[in-house]
Amino acid sequence: MLCYCVSRYDVKKLLETKQAVGIDMGVADLMITSDGVKYPTICFDKVLSNKKHYWEKRLARRRLQAMKEIAWDKHNQVLEPRELADLSNYRKARTIVAKYNEKIANQRNNYLHQLTKKLVTLPRIY
């Protein structure tokens, strides 16, 4: 059975304001507009850093243990020696660390998207 789900929606076009705004990109503040509005730089990795660091340490430990097991297999000349991808504990830790990295990247992209949307939709009065 094959099932398709198609959703269509009309995209609302924004009104043209014919006004320009200058943006100064910085380090301390992410952007400062020519209106004087400051948008702060937010370090999203600080929020999840404890959990990410915890799993990075576990990943390093599990990698070390996996390498010992691989070396043991090679030493004993096992017919089918294990590889790093075969060890489930290492794979689990690696996927969890990747999940936290992706979460941080998604938060950063969402923040930047919200800022640009706000810059485009705000009416400018001079």
Pairwise CA distance, residues 120 & 110, whole Å: 15
Split the chain (126 residues) into runs of 10 and give each run's mean pLDDT.
76 77 87 88 86 96 94 91 88 96 94 90 65
Tokens representing residue 112 in the block: 């930047």
pLDDT at 46: 84
pLDDT at 125: 54
* Cα end-to-end span (Å), the chain: 60
Pairwise CA distance, residues 94 & 56, whole Å: 8
Would you say 87 and 66 are in contact if contact means Cβ atoms under 8 Å apart? Answer: yes
Of 118, 96, 114, 126, the C-alpha closest to 42 is 114
Strand, coil or helix: 12 = coil
pLDDT at 2: 74
Neighbours of 75 (CB within 10 A): 9
pLDDT at 118: 87
H or E, element range at 30: strand 29-33
Tokens representing residue 120 in the block: 């485009």
pLDDT at 91: 94
